[in-house]
Amino acid sequence: MSELTGYKGKALSLLSNHNISIGDTVSVKTSTEEYTGILMPRYEFADDNHIVIKLKNGYNVGIETAGIVKIAKIESKVEQLKGEKIQSSVDQNLPKIALISTGGTIASKIDYRTGGVKAALTAEELYNAVPELSKYARIDTEVLFNEYSENLTAKHWSEMTKKVNEKVVNGYEGVVLTHGTDTMHYSAAALSFALSSVPVPVVIVGAQRSSDRPSSDAALNLIGATLFAARADVSGVFVAMHAGTSDSLIAVHLGTRVRKNHTSRRDAFESINMQPVAYVDGEKIEMKIDSLPRRKSAGKFDAKPNFDERVALLKYHPSMDPRIIEHLIDLGYRGLVFEGTGLGHVGKQCFDAIKKAVEHDMLVCMSSQCIWGRVRMTVYETGRDLLSIGVVPLSDMIGETALVKTMWALANSKDLQGAKDLIMQNIAMEYFDVSSFD
């Protein structure tokens, strides 16, 4: 009997009649298209009008049952799933990659072939779920934690830093971190500073759509991230996620210059004020930025895992209450990052409170809520006043990166001036010269 979890009605009949089970490779013909791929399970709320297959490039498509002209099984599941053998057959000359799981959609739903919702804990399970990985790397997996990324804090960034450090010291030639997408860009910025001298690529990857949905990006993103970690001749911290509307393109973003700009699209992550540093399309890596540091041998390096959580990010808005700033002083905060308006402004009702914060040795920095462009505080009176109060302008550093860097600078310097010096220093391309002011 066919194993057809989640299918019902017309879709179920069609598949049963052709003796097709989940996991089988099928060919499907409609009046306009032809598809070959693996039949996927369906989940609660699924309609009975579609079947879902996973194409060879990792992309899931839903095909309307009514439009199917021909359907046939090409290869049955039993012949494909030989997980234990896949791993032992991985080429021992491939780069050794550590895959560290921290949680999120990609980790909790990755096993899309069997429809399981648990984490991909072992290399065997991972290779079973995404067999393409065995072509690119010898992967060892480890679950560091299993959190939705909105629950991650600076303490988790420290843990991630130490774990990556351990892996690289132990000879791993690249690291892939699976991560929830909500705060992935904050973590990417944090690791960019904490691991600024890492000799290999560290690639953070997530999924906007879990693998139980048609058009899931889980497998494709993971393949792209692993390929980049294994083969790209660069070092540093990156985010690899789906790009554009193509079904096969992955963009690799610099860890300090990436932002989640859409709640749900697969291409939600965008590089800000620069293009992605690379694209991965199939097995091809196309580098877009030449100035990245080259890959070096895995081994010891100087990780700086500490962050000071006594830093707040405030997005300025009309009628903002200066008492919030004063409260941060009372709480003993050491840093305050504004997302100001336009070129880096806040309303004058906040000036006295900001002055008081500076007098209490708080490091007060200015980024822009516009997101694109750069802070320029010498153009208007408001900016000049804030500069004279002692606010530090952060040029084209985005607000999220600015928060993270201020937390890191305060934890890695002996005094306020040291922290300011670190803030002004370009550590991980968080300041990017060619950003257009036009």
Q: Which residues are catalytic?
A: 105, 181-182, 260
332 touches a copy of itself (CB under 8 A): no
Residue 355, classified by CB atoms within 10 Å of its CB into exposed (0-12), middle (13-18) or buried (19+), is: middle
Closest CB to a copy of itself among 173 and 400? 400
Concatenated DSSP letters of 128-177: HH-GGGGGT-EEEEEE-----GGG--HHHHHHHHHHHHHHHHTT-SEEEE
Closest CB to a copy of itself among 24 and 308? 308
Closest CB to a copy of itself among 139 and 204? 204
Sequence-ordered list of residues with C-beta below 8 angstroms from that of 276, at least 6 positions apart, any chain: 243, 251, 252, 253, 288
CB 22 within 8 A of CB 111: no
Q: What would the two tokens of residue 329 be?
A: 């002083």
Among 323, 352, 388, 417, binds a copy of itself (CB under 8 A): 323
Distance CA 137, CA 226 (A): 7
Find the shortest distance in angstroms from Cβ 302 to a copy of itself.
24
Binding to a copy of itself, residues 207-266 (CB under 8 A):
260-265
Binding to a copy of itself, residues 163-202 (CB under 8 A):
181-183, 186-187
Sign of the Cα torsion 159, 165, 166, 167 reads: positive
Distance CA 111, CA 126 (A): 8
CB 11 within 8 A of CB 50: yes
Find the shortest distance in angstroms from Cβ 341 to a copy of itself.
4
268 touches a copy of itself (CB under 8 A): yes
Closest CB to a copy of itself among 127 and 157? 157
Among 282, 324, 417, 418, binds a copy of itself (CB under 8 A): 324
327 touches a copy of itself (CB under 8 A): yes
Among 61, 234, 375, 409, binds a copy of itself (CB under 8 A): 375
CA 252 to chain centre: 9
Interface residues with a copy of itself (CB under 8 A) are 148-157, 181-183, 186-187, 260-265, 268, 307, 309, 311-321, 323-324, 327-328, 331, 339-349, 368, 370-376, 380-382, 399-400, 403, 407, 437-438
